[in-house]
Amino acid sequence: MNIIHIHTPIRSVDDLRIGDQVYVSGLVAILRDQAQKRFIEYKIKGLTTPNIENLPVFHCGPIAYMDGGRWIIKSIGPTTSARMERDLPVFLKLSGVRMVIGKGGVSRSTASDMVKIGVVYCAYPGGASAFLVKTLKKVVDVYWLDLGIPEALWIVEFENLGPLTVAIDIYGGNIYSQVEDNVERNLDRILGGR
């Protein structure tokens, strides 16, 4: 396991392996399923979308409010990435994103697609919102507020967002699959092949 500090934009994730602990500084795009769907729809129709190429995408929905003409994010925490999984490979191909941050991982099929596209998945633990907000420097921009504050696409700046655990790398390493395989083997052993 290595501890790696990354500054955005992220052009390559070749050095990241499962188990590595990552801290990200710089711009990060925050979105969930509704903004992801709109991004895909706009790209397919040839409409303008926010430029998030080479930015990490963090699956979360912030609680935010305006104060003196600027956005304040009061709470932020990872969303289960399975919510975005159905359209995630298409989104990744269209956006040029190289890192997804979330919780819970994605299916083996989606992980396989991510390997082919060259995207890593980094896990951030749920329940650590108070700590996470401390790494947030500022809101840079927000798009598609008509979807609602938690569903909009946010561009925010972080300083040492982490620790993130590389859970799926571009070489086929997948912590979630390893755990599933170990559980299956242990169950077979315990149950004697029944």
Residue 130 predicted with pLDDT over 90: no
Averaged over 164-169, what is the pLDDT?
96
Average pLDDT value for residue range 112-121: 96
Q: What is the mean pLDDT of the chain?
A: 91
Cα–Cα distance, 194 to 188 (Å, whole number): 7
Quote the CA–CA distance of 84 and 115 in Å, as a whole number. 17
pLDDT of 179 higher than 60: no
Lowest mean pLDDT among 29-38, 148-157, 183-192: 183-192
pLDDT digits (tens, 9 = 90+) for 38-96: 999 999 999 999 999 999 999 999 999 999 999 999 998 888 999 999 999 999 999 99
**Domains of the chain listed by start with CATH number:** 3-191 (3.20.130.10)
pLDDT at position 97, please?
Answer: 97
Q: Is residue 190's pLDDT more than 90?
A: no
pLDDT at 36: 98
**How far are the Cα atoms of 31, 33, 115, 118, 189 from residue 81, in angstroms, in the given order?**
11, 9, 16, 18, 31
Q: CA 154 to CA 44: how far, in whole Å? A: 21
**Which token pair is 155?**
């561009």
pLDDT at 172: 92
Q: What gap in Å lies between CA 168 and CA 187, rounded to an integer?
A: 24
Nearest alpha carbon to residue 78 among 53, 59, 106: 59
Report the distance separating Cα 15 and Cα 2, nearest Å. Answer: 10
